[in-house]
Structure 1
Amino acid sequence: MNATAVLHSEWIKLKSLRGTAGSLLAVLLVTVGITALAFATIGRSEADNAGAEPVYDAFYALNFGQIAAITFGATAVSSEYVGGALRVSLAAVPRRGLLYAAKAAVVGALALVVGVATSFTAFLVGQSFLGPYAIGLDRPGAVRACLGAGIYLALMALLAAGLTTVLRSGVAVLSILIPFILIVSFVVGDVAGGAADFLPDRAGQQILHEHPAGTLGAWSGLAVCAAWAAAALLAGWWSLRRRDA
């Protein structure tokens, strides 16, 4: 099978899996829904705080949306390890590198499209509740943050996809990544100081700040997050090549 045919087959796989499609849709619904709820209730009072960051605060719900993005990446790959599906995939596409690259490309492309749509929608929905405190896309750093947020969600999905290929279990990856992002990252940040800026979530979210502070800048932080995702994908490729199906 040529590359185009393999990409098409991976697209058919992902859209036909209910759990995978649901987790991808959840990226949009969770992020926009929590944004609307938070900004409708406490948005104006929080916007009036002296230390408020209008651009960064607009992406508050991204902390929840990234969980759905991680789930999408994990379930997209873990489905291959259920019921011997990987053996069937390899029978159709014996070139493991091609199969793996096609799956990563489809996962990344879908996550990027949904991520960018989610970030722009969440930004605009949130600002609609702020009245005089609202900012627009013409605010310095706003468009960069929206685009960067979409890329960040795609990178987190790819990070999860790579780790799932290594561990062969979506449950194991979710059990590691979600507590790490929600708890461990903040604990390490309090203890390790500047070194924590190089963790994937903290580095990637530098793109959301209008004026990033710390060791990394906006795009360099996103590049560090991309390096984490690339390392996970490389480890997944090595694992797929070396192990039996």
Structure 2
Amino acid sequence: MQFAPVFRSEWLKIRTVRSLLATLFALFAVTTAFSALAAVDPEDQGADPLFTALSGITLGQIAALAFGSLAVSAEYREGAAVRLSLTAVPRRGLWFAAKAAAIAAVVLAVSLVTSLAALLAGSAGLGDAADGLTSADQVRGVLGGAVYLTLMALFAAGLATLLRSGVATLSVLIPFILIVSFVVGDALGTVVDFMPDRAGQTVLRGEPDGTLGPWTGLAVTACWTAAALLAGAWRLRRQDA
């Protein structure tokens, strides 16, 4: 069985599920709106202008996590959908690879537009404070932000395949990102720099101040994502749907 038709079928699933389309709209709207709001906050005027302009990504990633988890968990509602999918595509590894590729392609395309819109909205709100942003910084921020959101969506997809529940996946990831990483994380010292969200977000900073650089941080997030996908693939291959 060829990869292309399986990928196309997974793309059609995403395109026809309204909740997934709504999640993509939320990704764009939340990220852009919060970037614009953060940029006009006087307290942020002296902060890293690149991170301030793209700060909406830190909230928009919740929509990316929701998209990745819902795209997979929809298959496990009462088990009917995933059984049908695996009957049509008996090679489970091929099906899972096509599912992950479809999720990545959609999120990356939307995230590129979202990151660019957030940067424009944030830069407009910063005014003169945005003059220090170089073209290289802006390109890195837009591309890196899109890759980061894509990795987080795939991270959620991998965990959703492992847990077979979108609710369980979001119940783990959202508190982890909003509470552990930001509230408890600072007490962990340099360990926090290697958390999937903190590591990946270094690409959004003009001058990263942690242990990792912009691209090494994304590499760490990619490792977390790969581990989640491998864990999900292992359960899919070892256990019946």
TM-score by length of 2: 0.95
Contact 2:160/2:166 (8 A) holds in 1: yes
Relative to structure 1, the CA distance from residue 23 to residue 220 in structure 2 (aligned partners, 3 Å threshold; closer, same or farther) is same
Q: Give the letter aligned to residue 151 of structure 1.
A: V
Q: Determine whether 1:184 maps to 2:180.
A: yes
Q: What CA distance in whole angstroms lies between the structure 2 residues aligned with 1:206 and 1:88? A: 41
Relative to structure 1, the CA distance from residue 57 to residue 106 in structure 2 (aligned partners, 3 Å threshold; closer, same or farther) is same
Q: Determine whether 1:204 maps to 2:179.
A: no
Contact 1:140/1:210 (8 A) holds in 2: no
1:28-63 deviation digits (Å, cap 9, x = unpaired): 111112223343xx34x23543xx111111111111
Which aligned pairs between 1:51-200 and structure 2 lie closer than 5 A?
A: 52-83=47-78, 84-135=80-131, 138-200=134-196
Contact 2:35/2:52 (8 A) holds in 1: no
Identity of aligned residues (%): 55
Aligned to 1:213: 209
Contact 1:136/1:142 (8 A) holds in 2: no
Aligned to 1:223: 219
The alpha carbon displacement at 1:130 in A equals 2.9
Q: What CA distance in whole angstroms lies between the structure 1 residues aligned with 2:34 and 2:69? A: 23
Q: What CA distance in whole angstroms lies between the structure 1 residues aligned with 2:206 and 2:176? A: 25
The alpha carbon displacement at 1:4 in A equals 0.8
Contact 1:35/1:122 (8 A) holds in 2: yes
1:144-165 deviation digits (Å, cap 9, x = unpaired): 1111011000000000000000
The alpha carbon displacement at 1:65 in A equals 0.3
Q: Give the letter aligned to residue 74 of structure 2.
A: S
Stretch moving more, 217-226 or 142-151: 142-151
Q: Which runs of 5+ in 1 are unaligned?
A: none
Contact 1:23/1:68 (8 A) holds in 2: yes
Q: Give the letter aligned to residue 141 of structure 1.
A: D
Q: What CA distance in whole angstroms lies between the structure 2 residues aligned with 1:2 and 1:150? A: 28
Q: What CA distance in whole angstroms lies between the structure 1 residues aligned with 2:225 and 2:137? A: 24
Q: What CA distance in whole angstroms lies between the structure 1 residues aligned with 2:36 and 2:210? A: 30
Q: What CA distance in whole angstroms lies between the structure 2 residues aligned with 1:67 and 1:239? A: 25
Q: What CA distance in whole angstroms lies between the structure 2 residues aligned with 1:32 and 1:101? A: 30
Q: What CA distance in whole angstroms lies between the structure 1 residues aligned with 2:132 and 2:88? A: 49
Q: Secondary structure at the match of 2:125?
A: coil
Contact 1:24/1:69 (8 A) holds in 2: yes
Q: What CA distance in whole angstroms lies between the structure 1 residues aligned with 2:45 and 2:59? A: 24
Question: Number of paired residues?
Answer: 240
Aligned to 1:28: 28
Q: Determine whether 1:46 maps to 2:36.
A: no
Q: Give the letter aligned to residue 202 of structure 2.
A: Q
Q: Determine whether 1:237 maps to 2:228.
A: no
TM-score by length of 1: 0.93
Q: What CA distance in whole angstroms lies between the structure 1 residues aligned with 2:160 and 2:139? A: 32
Q: Root-mean-square deviation (CA), in Å?
A: 1.5
Stretch moving more, 233-242 or 122-131: 122-131
Q: Which runs of 5+ in 2 are unaligned?
A: none
Q: What CA distance in whole angstroms lies between the structure 2 residues aligned with 1:68 and 1:176? A: 15
